[in-house]
């Protein structure tokens, strides 16, 4: 590209981001697709991502270990040595589940996890990272298990950018969870091989802006690297709001080693949601998202970002949280309020809902039932959480008569993508495929980066020149694969 004396060298999308990220993870592009709970980031999505040269994470959160193991089996067969990872989500209310998933990943030689929702390091994540750690003949410490940690707060980032604390290592060694040899080598590696800085996103989010948060995280990494002098410092990537060429180009320009997308992938054909939800997502604007109570951390007041348009989930969830906060038990709910909940939200008596919730927890985690039978407020929380949890399953399964209750995690990135692709073939959800979407974003980011070089040489470029039209697969192949 040359305009007068200005010159912008060729830039292939595979050169964007950090070359070490691409080399170490064995991917063509410094582009990851994040885990999406309940298998929304499905096996098909991970297969499509891996085959397109992306780093894709399976959405293990909310699934029982046996279901996650079935995904491990399938991906082993379908992908062989191609890279992929699995989500290890912190579960404060179900520590046994976090430990069971960790055991599974260790037993099945899963070498890469996306660690998320952590507020502090737990024995489970430390045990995963240190499994197989050894000093090579060249004197370097190598940890075969890699952790891509997703964070939105500096306090949490600081934990992952440093080794696990001596105290935690000592306690874990004393409890027989790690050997003293592992504890010693742990001091030479950061807990995370990569740190994803997650700005305002779909699902769990602190709604922070990427441009404000990202520089602080890079500075933190550099400060901790100066202190610990790791042989392999953690790389820092960016997520939250990325679904357009402009956003990806801006993230790479800020120094992101890689970008990670979420919302946009849910609207793609490979995701584990329903066609109804894909259509709802494809019609969303940027302002069609809202915060609603989270099922997994309901009592802590944690919220998740969901789709607002076309569903009443957010209002109903907020109402449940309000009632839980102000009443001490189900029996204390005013009769008219209770009747409305039973009619509109639960479509069943709350006593019956408790009976089925109790059954569910007896199989999954009986200690919850024991506690609920002693603490009426906890019982109410479990009943209310059952609605929040099912609301996501109804959406994934496309249960027609529950459409107004769909819980669809989604951030403003969805609207941004819809606005960009409006009028193009990618407007239709049935044409959206994870690899095609990613390669279009990357291709556009490379073009815009070149345009930036030209602007830096004094050239003024009009909107026509810098407008990126989505390209069909064949056209992308011609441009990128020759
Ligand atoms: C439907 C959906 C479900 C998600 N579930 C998870 C999850 O289980 N674990 C996780 O680490 N992140 C989860 N995320 C976050 C994504 O992995 C990703 O970090 C985020 O969506 C990026 O921001 P964006 O939505 O603005 O693209 C989810 C996001 C969405 C949209």
224 shares a domain with 85: yes
Residue 440 located in a structural domain: no
Q: Bridge-partner residues for 161, per DSSP?
A: none
Confirm or reject: Cβ of 203 under 6 Å from ligand 1: yes
Q: Is the CB of 440 under 6 A from ligand 1?
A: no
Atom of ligand 1 nearest to the CA of 198: 19
What are the tokens at 459? 């050239």
Q: What is the pLDDT of residues 282-335, one digit of tens each?
A: 999 999 999 999 998 899 999 999 999 999 999 999 999 999 999 999 999 999
Output the CA 411–ligand 1 centroid distance in Å.
9
Distance 89 CA to ligand 1 centre (A): 12
Residue 127 in contact with residue 177, Cβ under 8 Å?
A: yes
Residue with tokens 């000093």: 135
Distance (angstroms) between ligand 1 centre and the Cα of 167 equals 32
Contacts of 209 (CB under 8 A, 6+ apart): 199, 200
Instruction: Summarize pLDDT for 328-337 with one digit per residue, the tens.
Output: 999 999 999 9
- Same-domain pairing of 38 and 97: yes
Q: Are residues 17 and 90 in the same domain?
A: yes
Please tell me if the CB atom of residue 150 comes closer than 6 angstroms to any atom of ligand 1: yes
What pLDDT score was predicted for residue 263?
97
* Same structural domain, 246 and 372: no
* Domain end marker among 380, 405, 430: 405
How confident is the model at residue 2, as a pLDDT? 55
| Closest atom of ligand 1 relative to the 241 alpha carbon | 26
Query: Residue 100: inside a domain, yes or no?
Result: yes
Give the Cα separation of 186 and 166 in Å (integer): 9
| The pLDDT value given to residue 1 | 57
Could you say which of 385, 405, 425 is where a domain stops?
405
Q: Is 39 in the pocket of ligand 1 (CB under 6 A)?
A: no
Do 230 and 90 sit in the same domain of this protein? Answer: yes
The predicted pLDDT at position 297 comes to 86
Would you say 118 and 92 are in contact if contact means Cβ atoms under 8 Å apart?
no
Question: Which protein residue has the closest C-alpha to ligand 1 atom 18?
Answer: 262
CA distances in angstroms from 293 to 321, 357, 366, 388, 407, listed in the order given: 7, 19, 24, 8, 10
pLDDT of residue 365: 84
Q: Please list, in sequence order, all residues whose beta carbon lies within 8 angstroms of the beta carbon of residue 287, skipping any fewer than 6 positions away.
A: 412, 415
pLDDT digits (tens, 9 = 90+) for 415-443: 999 999 999 999 999 999 999 999 999 99
How many Cβ atoms sit within 10 Å of the Cβ of residue 218? 17
Give the pLDDT confidence score for residue 156 in this predicted structure: 98
Of 222, 247, 275, which residue constitutes the final position of a domain?
A: 275
Closest CA to 418 of 404, 428, 409, 406: 428
User: Looking at the structure, do residues 256 and 316 belong to the same domain, yes or no?
Assistant: no
Cα distances from 236 to residues 73, 257, 411, in angstroms, run: 30, 6, 21
Given a cut of 70, whether residue 346 has pLDDT beyond it is yes
Q: Domain range spanning residue 139?
A: 2-275
Share of the chain above pLDDT 90, in %: 94
Q: Report if residue 338 sits inside a domain.
A: yes
167 and 42 in one domain?
yes
Q: Does residue 441 lie in a domain region? A: no
Q: What is the pLDDT of residue 468?
A: 96
Across the chain, mean pLDDT equals: 96
Q: What is the pLDDT averaged over residues 455-480?
A: 93
| 20-to-27, 114, 267, 312, 465 alpha-carbon distances in Å | 10, 18, 30, 45, 32
Residue 115 in tokens:
């660690």
Q: What SS3 class is residue 432?
A: coil
Residue 91 lies in a domain: yes
- Of 456, 448, 428, give the one whose Cα is nearest residue 247: 448
pLDDT at position 150: 98
The 10s digit of each residue's pLDDT in 185-228 is 999 999 999 999 999 999 999 999 999 999 999 999 999 999 99
Give the pairing type, strands 203-204 and 303-307: antiparallel
Assess whether the C-beta atom of 259 lies below 6 angstroms from ligand 1: no
Q: Which residues pair with 203 in a beta bridge?
A: 305
Confidence band, pLDDT 50/70/90 cuts, at residue 3? low
pLDDT in tens, 12-58: 999 999 999 999 999 999 999 999 999 999 999 999 999 999 999 99
Best mutation site among 35, 38, 87 for ligand 1 pocket (most ligand atoms within 8 Å of CB): 35
Atom in ligand 1 nearest the alpha carbon of residue 243: 27
Q: What pLDDT score was predicted for residue 96?
A: 84
Say yes or no: 129 and 206 in one domain: yes
Residue 305, SS3 per DSSP: strand
Count of domains forming the chain: 2
Any domain includes 395 = yes
Sequence-distant contacts of 326-331: CB under 8 A, at least 24 apart: 327/380, 328/376, 328/377, 329/376, 329/377, 329/379, 329/380, 330/354, 330/376, 330/379, 330/380, 330/383, 331/376
30 and 114 within one domain: yes
Instruction: Quote the crossing angle between the two packed helices 95-107 and 65-79, to the nearest 10°.
Output: 30
| Rounded mean pLDDT, 247-262 | 98
Reply yes or no on whether the pLDDT at 253 is more than 60: yes
Virtual torsion, Cα 70, 71, 74, 78, nearest 10 deg: -170
> Is the same domain home to 328 and 254?
no
Beta bridge partners of 290: 306
* Judgement on whether residues 260 and 327 belong to the same structural domain of the protein: no
List of E strands, 21-174: 31-33, 55-58, 85-89, 112-116, 134-135, 141-142, 146-151
pLDDT of residue 95: 82
Write the CATH number for 39. Answer: 3.20.20.70
| pLDDT at 106 > cutoff 80 | yes
- Is 286 a domain residue? no
CB 413 less than 6 A from any atom of ligand 1: yes
Q: How many CB atoms lie within 10 A of CB 359?
A: 11
* Residue 340 and residue 254 share a domain: no
Residue 166 domain flag: yes
Query: For residue 15, what is the DSSP state?
Result: G
Q: Give the atom of ligand 1 at the shortest distance from the alpha carbon of 261.
A: 27
Q: Are 49 and 85 spatial neighbours (Cβ–Cβ below 8 Å)? A: no
């Amino acid at each position: 590209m040359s305009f007068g004396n200005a010159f912008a060298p060729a830039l292939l999308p595979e050169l964007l981001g950090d070359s070490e990220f691409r080399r170490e993870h064995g991917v063509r592009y410094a582009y990851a697709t994040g885990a999406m709970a309940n298998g929304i980031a499905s096996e098909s999505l991970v297969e499509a991502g891996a085959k397109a040269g992306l780093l894709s994470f399976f959405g293990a959160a909310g699934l029982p270990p046996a279901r996650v193991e079935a995904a491990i089996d399938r991906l082993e067969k379908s992908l062989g040595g191609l890279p992929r990872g699995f989500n290890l989500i912190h579960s404060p209310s179900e520590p046994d589940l976090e430990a069971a998933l960790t055991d599974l990943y260790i037993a099945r030689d899963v070498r890469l996890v996306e660690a998320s929702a952590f507020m502090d390091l737990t024995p489970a994540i430390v045990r995963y990272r240190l499994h197989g750690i050894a000093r090579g003949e060249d004197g370097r410490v190598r940890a075969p298990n890699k952790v891509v940690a997703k964070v939105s707060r500096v306090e949490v980032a600081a934990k992952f950018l440093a080794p696990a604390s001596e105290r935690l290592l000592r306690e874990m060694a004393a409890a027989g969870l790690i050997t003293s040899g592992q504890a010693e080598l742990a001091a030479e590696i950061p807990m995370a091989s990569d740190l994803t800085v997650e700005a305002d996103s779909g699902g769990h989010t602190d709604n922070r802006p990427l441009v404000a948060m990202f520089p602080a995280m890079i500075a933190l990494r550099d400060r901790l690297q100066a202190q610990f002098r790791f042989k392999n410092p953690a790389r820092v990537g960016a997520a939250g709001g990325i679904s357009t060429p402009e956003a990806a180009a801006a993230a790479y320009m800020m120094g992101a080693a890689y970008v990670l997308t979420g919302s946009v992938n849910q609207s793609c054909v490979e995701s584990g949601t329903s066609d109804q939800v894909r259509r709802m997502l494809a019609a969303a604007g940027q302002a069609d998202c809202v915060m609603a109570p989270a099922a997994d951390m309901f009592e802590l007041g944690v919220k998740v970002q969901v789709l607002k348009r076309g569903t009443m989930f957010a209002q109903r969830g907020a109402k449940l949280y309000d009632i839980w906060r102000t009443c001490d038990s189900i029996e204390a709910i005013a009769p008219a309020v209770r009747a409305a909940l039973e009619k509109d939200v639960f479509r069943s008596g709350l006593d019956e809902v408790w009976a089925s919730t109790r059954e569910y927890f007896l199989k999954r985690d009986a200690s919850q039932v024991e506690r609920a039978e002693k603490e009426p407020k906890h019982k109410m929380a479990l009943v209310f959480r059952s609605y929040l949890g099912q609301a996501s399953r109804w959406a994934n399964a496309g249960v027609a008569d529950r459409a107004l209750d769909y819980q669809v995690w989604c951030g403003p990135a969805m609207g941004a993508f819809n606005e960009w692709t409006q009028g193009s073939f990618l407007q239709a959800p049935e044409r959206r495929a994870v690899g095609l979407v990613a390669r279009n974003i990357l291709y556009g980011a490379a073009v815009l980066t070149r345009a930036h070089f030209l602007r830096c040489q004094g050239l003024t470029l009009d909107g026509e020149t810098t407008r990126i039209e989505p390209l069909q697969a064949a056209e992308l192949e011609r441009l990128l694969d020759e």
